[in-house]
Amino acid sequence: MKKSNSLAWLIVFLILTVIGVSFYWWQIRPSQIRKTCVVESGNEAVELAKIKARTDPAYKETASKGMYKINDYDELYWRYLNQRGLKSDNREQELSKVIDQQQQEIDTLKKSNEQYQKNINDALTAIEEYNKKIRTYSKTYPTFTTCSPSAFGGINCHSY
Q: What is the pLDDT of residues 77-86, one digit of tens each?
A: 888 888 888 8
Mean pLDDT over 133-137 rounds to 72
pTM for the complete prediction? 0.51
Q: Which residues contact 150 (CB under 8 A, 6 or more apart)?
A: 156
Mean pLDDT for the stretch of residues 131-138:
73
Average pLDDT over residues 103-125: 85
Q: Which of 107, 108, 105, 82 is nearest to 93 (CA)?
A: 82
Confidence (pLDDT) at 35 = 93
Each domain of the chain, given as residue ranges in start order, spans 1-88, 109-160
Return all residues near 143 (Cβ < 8 A) that are at least 6 apart.
159, 160
